[in-house]
Amino acid sequence: MQDYFEQNKFPNSALELSFVGTLALVFTNLMGPFTQILTSMFGSRIVLMTGTVLVTLALIVAGFSSQIWHLYLTQGIMFGIGASMMYVTIMGVAPQWFTRRRGLALGMVASGSGIGGLVIPFIMTPINSSLGYAWTYRILGFICLACDLVAVVLVKEKFPRKKGRKKLSDIVQLNVLRNFNFILWCVGSVIMLLGYFVPYFFLPSYATFHGLSASQGSALVAVSSAMNFIGRVLAGICADHIGKLNTNIIFTIIGGLSSLLIWTFATNYGSLMAYSVVFGLFCGSYFALLSPVTAFILGMEKFPSGLSVLLLFNVIAVFGPNIASAIENGVSAEPFLSYKLFSGVAYLVGACILTFLKLRLNRNIFAKI
């Protein structure tokens, strides 16, 4: 949709449009602690139902947008709050049901967004071409309604929560920041995530810049999302065999190198498709492993607070596309080069910090961590 709006409705507004997705991601992470408070008060099912309503209404109302700030309020803030209620609630419930092969289980849970990224572009592009962006948003809203209702029906807690309203200080216990290993985990992850969103935001625009069609640009995102689905499951399998942190480091390094060594030199459909495959396969290990690594570092007692703090740190990372856009607008280099270098370097710097964390935990480089 960013590519469509930039080319047809809001020309020369790439930076302003990038804040739509940024706001959605910010509120998805920022509302995490408040979602946990609501869950403690009303239970997971009520929170999931509320999130479903907000996500659906946000997309339907976004179809009436005539200004960029309308998208900020709907697809950005309102959708982000609803998505947070869905995502944080389910990520808190899923680990309750698994003891063995938890890495694989959480990898499968986290891989769901890859399926959406595979299917949705092929739905949105033809609808947008024939019916316009308004009906595209409305139909997408009803698709989300159908999918989210399945989650409302099927997702439930294994252990009943104690009744009573929790305070924000009960959810976000900042004493977890006294653990230097946890700080390294947060900082390394945030720096890496700065580069994660950049290809997904700008790869379709890059494709049309080189003369490819909008459908080909959508196909690149779809293939990358499909490989992201496979990669997150693969990360969970590898985590159970070679260690959670080890897996994340290896995947992060390969993801960064793919931006520097493939995307930098990709100018045709074949080479861009190769990049989409490699980056998609290795870029999303963090989302599959954030829960088990956090639990490993802090222990299960402090895990809920650690997860909330980590999600708050993630708010910084969602500004990656905006920072990359500002750099792109401020330099006189080859078009899109800043995006490629920014994504690749962010991944590699994050991997270096995570490697330092691994060596602090165990100096044996081959230790299963």
CATH number at residue 169: 1.20.1250.20
Q: Which backbone phi and psi does 219 adopt, to 5 degrees?
A: -65, -35
- pTM of the predicted model as reported, rounded to 2 decimal places: 0.80
- Domain assignment of residue 160, yes or no: yes
- Domain assignment of residue 369, yes or no: no
Give, in order, the Cα–Cα distances in Å from 355 to each of 1, 16, 81, 320: 37, 36, 34, 22
pLDDT given at position 170: 67
- Domain assignment of residue 368, yes or no: no
- pLDDT tens sequence for the chain (369 residues): 777 787 778 877 767 887 888 888 889 888 888 888 888 788 889 999 999 999 999 999 998 988 889 999 999 999 999 999 998 888 778 777 877 777 777 778 877 776 776 778 778 888 888 888 889 999 999 999 999 999 999 988 877 666 555 666 666 777 888 899 999 999 999 999 999 989 988 888 889 888 888 778 878 888 888 898 889 889 988 988 899 999 999 999 999 999 999 999 999 999 999 999 999 999 989 988 888 898 889 887 788 788 888 888 888 888 888 889 889 888 888 889 999 999 999 999 999 999 999 999 998 888 888
Residue 324 to residue 318: CA distance in whole angstroms: 11
Give, in order, the Cα–Cα distances in Å from 312 to each of 9, 338, 353: 33, 27, 19
- Domain assignment of residue 274, yes or no: yes
pLDDT given at position 192: 95
pLDDT given at position 105: 79
pLDDT given at position 162: 63
Please count the structural domains in the chain: 1
Residue 31 to residue 181: CA distance in whole angstroms: 25
Rg (CA), the chain: 20
Residue matched to tokens 């302003």:
16
Residue 287, domain extent: 2-361
- Domain assignment of residue 367, yes or no: no
**Is residue 366 a contact partner of residue 242, using CB atoms and an 8 Å limit?**
no
- Domain assignment of residue 235, yes or no: yes
Q: Which backbone phi and psi does 172 adopt, to 5 degrees?
A: -105, 90
